[in-house]
Amino acid sequence: MVVYQLRDADVDRLFQALADATRRDIVRRVTAGEYSVSGLAALYAMSFAAVQKHVAVLERASLVMKEKRGREQIVRGNHEGLQKARRLLDEYEAIWRQRAERIADILAEG
């Protein structure tokens, strides 16, 4: 059962990563082509450090990948991660369905 192999943590991480307009914009841009972190920082009215933090959240959620190239940090979309994201979103509901089943079992014990 795929559902049993899912941790809530994976789903939460994904939802939270996408729950921000800047992060969604970063994902959209870097899936179309790679950007350096400083290149991204130039696009938003926020500090380099703030953009770096957003990238780190996306990286943890496996939505983007980051690699060091010379003095630059290059960010690009993580296609495998996005595919997984899709699956996780579809299965979040199943997690709760399973929980409800377990609750029913416990209640049936009296």
Partner 1 sequence: MPVISSTKNLEALSLTLVAEFDAAVERVWQIWEDPRQLERWWGPPNYPATFDRFDFQPGGNADYYMTTPEGEKPRGWWKFRTIEAPRKLEFDDGFADETGVPVDAMGSAHAAVDLEDLGGRTRMTIMSTFDSEEQMEEMVQMGMEEGMKEAAGQIDAVLAQHARA
The minimum distance between CB 52 and partner 1, in angstroms, equals 11
The minimum distance between CB 19 and partner 1, in angstroms, equals 4
DSSP 43-55: TSSS-HHHHHHHH
Q: How many angstroms separate the first and last alpha carbons of the chain? A: 28
Single-letter amino acid code for the residue at 65: M
The minimum distance between CB 70 and partner 1, in angstroms, equals 27
- The residues of the shown chain that bind partner 1, judged by CB under 8 A, are 3-9, 12-13, 15-16, 18-22, 24, 27-28, 31, 53, 56-57, 60, 77, 79, 82-83, 85-86, 89, 92-93, 95-104, 106-108
28 touches 64 (CB < 8 A): no
